Amino acid sequence: MKTVTARAHTNIALIKYWGKKDPDLILPYTSSVSLTLADFYTDTTVSFDPTLKADQFHLDGIAKPAGKVSQFLDLVRHRADIPTYARIESHNHVPTAAGLASSAAAFAALALAGSRAAGLDLSPSALSRLARRGSGSASRSIFGDLAIWHRGHDDASSVAEALPPTTLPLRMLVVMVDTSRKAIGSRALMANTVATSPYYPAWVTTNENAVQAMVEALAANDFAQVGHLTEQSSMQMHATILAADPAFTYWQPETLTAWAIVKQLRAQGIPAYATMDAGPNVKILTLSPYVEQIKAALAPTFGERLLTTGPGPAARVLTEVPNA
């Protein structure tokens, strides 16, 4: 066994994933398409130690309950046929639980570091399936740039893969409306949306159709269509959440302000499209020549709460050292 440190980046779904038809295997109701981001990532170190009586987990230097991490590593231990507990050290370079896909990066990094530390050498597809068991969107963070997560129908077929790279100079601006921990976690809200929103079946059909349209738009380098599909998927997802019982929204007043600015920019001919995940922060999909104009429009309201990023790399091993 080894001590392995791996890095995985967050991803933002252009065509959304929201809702599980199998909560145990984390099989989604719809496929999804995502963009991996360069500037937000998690570094995780895993070392299996025969002297440990339980897993030990530290996040950003602070000891945390190892519950979900241990449950995930049980999958690794089963596959590697080892009983050994592990030390896990994770460092998030992204706000945690604020709608910026920190869990996607976290479980993709844990899947890679944990499997390699246990002596496994999994293919990207196998890593994607494993990461999915921790967080659905983590299946996509195994891959860089653009990825598609096929909803599938079982553990083997629900897997992500890389999409062909586009020549579009994609960029994403992140408007940090609120980076505090969310009032309701994604998993709980997903389950309630599936169970109670009368819009949910229509959203599944519409969103699944949008996946193929997005793949075609990316292949054609049609940014207007890419942007339109991105914004529509987000708005339809949040409308479906709002229609659940009880009604709920992650949006805050400044979320609407940012969206209004994006619409004004687009009316002026600047290609900018808003997307929001499970949180109030607004992500703006655009092309590199327009980044500074968009930042200038947002700065009077949001000041320094603006981040700019672009396509990021696949999950990768940073260090790998045999245990003594």
Over the stretch 265-311, which tens digit does the pLDDT of each residue have?
999 999 999 999 988 999 999 999 999 999 999 999 999 899 999 99
Whether residue 199 sits in one domain with residue 101? no
- Please state the domain count of the chain: 2
- Whole-angstrom Cα distance, residue 95 to residue 27? 26
Whether residue 247 sits in one domain with residue 294? yes
Q: Which of 166, 200, 229 is the C-terminal boundary of a domain? A: 166
Q: Is residue 13 part of a domain?
A: yes
Whether residue 72 sits in one domain with residue 102? yes
**9 near 310, Cβ under 8 Å?**
no
Q: Is residue 319 part of a domain?
A: no
Q: What is the pLDDT of residues 228-268, one digit of tens each?
A: 999 999 999 999 999 999 999 999 999 999 999 999 999 99
Range of the domain at 102: 2-166
Sign of CA dihedral 77, 78, 82, 83: positive
| Domain of residue 18, CATH code | 3.30.230.10
Confidence at residue 310, expressed as pLDDT on a 0 to 100 scale = 96
Return the structure tokens found at 235.
Answer: 């708005």
Confidence at residue 323, expressed as pLDDT on a 0 to 100 scale = 86
Whether residue 112 sits in one domain with residue 16? yes
Whether residue 275 sits in one domain with residue 226? yes
Q: E-strand spans in the chain? A: 2-15, 20-22, 27-28, 32-48, 56-59, 62-64, 86-93, 146-150, 159-162, 170-175, 273-275, 282-287, 306-309, 316-322
Confidence bin at 96 (pLDDT 50/70/90)? low
Q: Which of 166, 195, 225 is the C-terminal boundary of a domain? A: 166
| Domain of residue 180, CATH code | 3.30.70.890
Whether residue 191 sits in one domain with residue 120? no
Whether residue 103 sits in one domain with residue 47? yes
Whether residue 247 sits in one domain with residue 141? no
